[in-house]
């Protein structure tokens, strides 16, 4: 994700959806002060990343505690005064249990929330840009790729340089900046509600994923098959690890090293019959503490990746 300039306002939201009698319904919010109807969204706060913002804003505006699905692109428009605004959107399935646990009450900002069919929602929106996002979601419904699960490939944070470290490479720790990166990126990774955390046993990888473990209350399972040492000596088990995660069809984080990440992406692409094109190769070339989310269809995993996106920490 490219950083925006100081004159650009960033925001994030979601198409929250649920199945009712076999048909999808989506959630709209009615804002009293602006007298409009739109998708729930809000501005990115300082120190936040867009995925983190989307989850927070949905909770604040609708009372729903969601996890993100596949991205639905952006809308871009000019605000009064000339500033550009970019809004990032994701799909987010809402189960009956999540609806039942909603804490929404009408307030000064959001007068009401409403579940409508895709057709009715499109007609109800006040802005054409929301219709465009909904149309992208409708295409997913049509193609049978609405339900997805993510594999999140995370590169470790900035570590002590090899030339400055006397011990084994696997014991190199994160620099202070690397620790800051890891803290910053953790809420973004957690926005996809991971169910499993796997990491290279290298110190720098375990330290990078630890803030995610804290946020999600999940244990980290060290996986030697994801280590740089095993990759370099030819004993890495990337393909078997990926195959197992694809079979499980649940959100997982794989924290590893720069040289290993292309092998992870390649294994996922091969298993899902996805062409390993230039954009997908670039998605494997991550800077420290960046991560790529690969979204796989639950119903049609053999038909290629539904979407691929890359994010990083809010700190430089």
Q: Which residue has the tokens 């594999």?
A: 151
122-134 average pLDDT score: 97
Flag whether pLDDT at 4 surpasses 60: no
102-130 average pLDDT score: 95
Query: What is the per-residue pLDDT for 34?
Result: 80
Query: What is the per-residue pLDDT for 2?
Result: 46
CATH for the 8-143 domain, from 3.90.870.40, 3.90.79.10, 3.40.640.10, 3.30.70.100: 3.90.79.10
CATH code of domain 148-311: 3.40.50.1240
Flag whether pLDDT at 186 surpasses 50: yes
Query: What is the per-residue pLDDT for 124?
Result: 97
Could you check whether 8-143 and 148-311 share the same CATH topology? no
CA 217/CA 194 separation, integer angstroms:
10
Residue 1: which pLDDT band, with cuts at 50, 70 and 90? low
Flag whether pLDDT at 222 surpasses 60: yes
Hey, which residues does 151 pair with through a beta bridge? 252, 294
Hey, which residues does 19 pair with through a beta bridge? 24
CA 153/CA 296 separation, integer angstroms:
13
222-251 average pLDDT score: 96
Flag whether pLDDT at 252 surpasses 80: yes
pLDDT tens-digit series, residues 23-70? 999 999 999 878 899 999 999 999 999 999 999 999 999 999 999 999
Mean pLDDT, the chain, rounded, equals: 96
DSSP symbols for 284-299: T-PPTT-EEEEEEESS
Q: With the CA atoms of 207, 213, 218 and 222 taken in that order, what torsion angle do they form, in degrees rounded to the nearest 10?
A: -20
223-241 average pLDDT score: 95
Domain ranges, ordered by start, for the chain: 8-143, 148-311
Query: What is the per-residue pLDDT for 7?
Result: 82
Flag whether pLDDT at 3 surpasses 70: no
Closest-CA residue to 37 (of 100, 141, 99, 125): 125
Angle, alpha carbons 146-152-156 (nearest 5°): 165
169-189 average pLDDT score: 98
């Amino acid at each position: 994700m490219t950083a925006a300039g100081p004159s650009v306002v960033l925001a994030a939201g979601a198409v929250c959806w649920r199945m009712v009698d076999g048909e999808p319904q989506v959630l709209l919010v009615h804002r009293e002060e602006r007298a409009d109807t739109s998708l729930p969204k809000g501005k990115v706060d300082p120190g936040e990343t867009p995925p983190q913002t989307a989850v927070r804003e949905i909770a604040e505006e609708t009372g729903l505690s969601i996890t993100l699905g596949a991205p639905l692109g952006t809308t871009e428009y000019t605000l009064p005064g000339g500033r550009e605004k970019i809004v990032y959107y994701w799909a987010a399935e809402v189960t009956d249990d999540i609806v039942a646990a909603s804490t929404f009450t009408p307030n000064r900002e959001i007068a009401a929330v409403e579940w409508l069919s895709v057709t009715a929602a499109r007609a109800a929106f006040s802005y054409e840009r929301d219709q465009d996002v909904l149309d992208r979601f409708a295409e997913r419904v049509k193609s049978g790729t609405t339900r997805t699960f993510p594999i999140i490939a995370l590169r470790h944070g900035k570590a002590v340089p090899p030339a400055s470290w006397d011990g084994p490479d696997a014991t190199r720790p994160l620099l202070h900046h690397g620790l800051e990166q890891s803290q910053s990126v953790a809420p973004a990774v957690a926005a996809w509600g991971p169910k499993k955390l796997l990491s290279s046993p290298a110190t720098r990888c375990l330290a990078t994923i630890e803030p995610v473990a804290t946020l999600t209350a999940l244990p980290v399972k060290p996986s030697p098959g994801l280590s740089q040492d095993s990759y370099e000596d030819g004993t890495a088990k990337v393909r078997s690890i990926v195959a197992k995660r694809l079979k499980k069809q649940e959100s997982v984080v794989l924290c590893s090293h720069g040289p290993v990440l292309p092998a992870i992406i390649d294994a996922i692409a091969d298993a899902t019959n996805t062409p390993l094109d230039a954009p997908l190769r670039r998605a494997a070339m991550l800077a420290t503490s960046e991560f790529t989310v690969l979204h796989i269809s639950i119903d049609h995993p053999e038909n290629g990746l539904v979407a691929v996106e890359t994010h990083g920490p809010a700190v430089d």
